[in-house]
Amino acid sequence: MAADAPDGATDGMPDGIPMEGAFPRLLGITQVERQPNYAKLTLTLDEMHLNRLGIAHGGILFSLMDTASGIAAGLGAEGSARGTVVTLSMTINYIRAVRSGRVVAESRVRGGRRTLTIESECRDAEGALLATALGTFQTLPAKA
């Protein structure tokens, strides 16, 4: 991982690894850390991420936390891949608006085997809480 923050960000966080998949790449999401049952992702807000009020669109924060949750769900406690994981439901609570800078989502699996419960938090570069989410995810059986 690169040690410098992109586009003038000064939060000291590594840039991260570009994500697989067209949607996360379109949003500019990068993976900072991944461990069993845990993921940390980031993106640097740009004009395309803002709504008509000039603040981050809620869908951007939701997408960041949903993506982090899926990655956290994909790697089991033993470090083995769980396979394909899909979102069944996710509830988000918006706490504070953000206009610019880097936003970070951290997701942790809290329980389950085939149906997983995952908690997520989204914070700004200074650590202020922007949103929380609680999701239910399901692992799909491998195709024969």
Which residue stretches of the chain have pLDDT < 70?
A: 1-19, 77-80, 144
Q: How far is CA 68 from the centre of its chain?
A: 3
Contact 69, 135 (CB under 8 A): yes
Per-residue pLDDT at 9: 37
pTM of the model: 0.84
Q: How far apart are CA 43 and CA 101, in angstroms?
A: 8
Domains in the chain (CATH in brackets) are 14-139 (3.10.129.10)
Per-residue pLDDT at 7: 37
List of E strands, 20-144: 30-35, 38-44, 85-94, 102-111, 115-124, 129-139
Tell me the pLDDT tens digit for each residue of 46-58. 999 999 999 999 9
